[in-house]
Amino acid sequence: MPKTALITGASSGIGLELAHIFAREGHNLLISARRKERLAELKKELEEKHKITVHIFSTDLANRESPEKLFAFCKENSLSIDFLVNNAGVGDYGLFHESDWKRQEAIIDLNIKSLTHLTHLFLPSMVQKEQACIMNVASTAAFQPGPLMSNYYASKHYVLAFSEAIANELNGTGVTVTTLCPGPTESEFQEHSNMEKSKLFDRFPVATSKDVAEYGYKAMMKGKRVAVYGVPNKLASKLSPLFPRRFVTAVVRKIQERK
């Protein structure tokens, strides 16, 4: 019997590529994002190509009531989720004290609250299964403070710490939790987060969303807890704790400064 994957932020980037991978592997899908038209196009493409069933649920998960509505949609349609992929996220670039609060609030609501709420809603039924997987998409930003993107970096640190903790709690169950930590990746994130102003994407190798998604999918299926994409990113994540935090923060600031 085919299993079902719920993927948030599935209309572009890593989420879109993960939808293609899950479909290719024969899994049914529930895809969620704000842009209903893109979801409808993706549903048509995947169902025709892979002969699977795709449900769509268009919503802004930064809204407080959206996780409950998505969970209710699953109940109404008798959808049992075997793979939960919390991929939706947003960032913002610039000095925190000069930023728009609504934007900062959206980072907390989407990157932290929504991810945590969806995990809390779906995990009880997943624990009842013989095997189930959660993938929470964080970032290499999770491993250090990030001046000029302070709230975003902090939100991804939360995702990593939360995911590692519940992975430990779930020892002995059939549920694994994988935190995917990509570095700079080709996607719409740069544009939506005003990252065109930053030197980050000029100074480091930029991965494709497809390559990151393939890596993340394999890591999740193996039950890997923390999956950092790319050798340079792996090295950076291991080395940063060895240096004084003030130094690391200053280096990140230098990397992130405007062009």
**Residues catalogued as catalytic:** 152
Amino acid at 60: D
Alpha-carbon separation of residue 98 from 80, 94, 148, 193 (angstroms)? 44, 7, 10, 15
* Phi and psi torsions of 83, nearest 5°: -130, 120
Of 56, 77, 176, 69, residue with least CA distance to 126: 176
Could you give the angle at the alpha carbon of 56 between the alpha carbons of 209 and 46, nearest 5°?
A: 55
Residue 245 in contact with residue 258, Cβ under 8 Å?
A: no
Q: At what angle do helices 13-24 and 36-50 cross, to 10 degrees?
A: 20
Element (H, E) at 55: strand 54-58
Amino acid at 240: S
Cβ-based neighbours of 221, under 8 Å, separated by 6 or more:
133
Residue 174 in contact with residue 130, Cβ under 8 Å?
A: yes
DSSP three-state, residue 180: strand
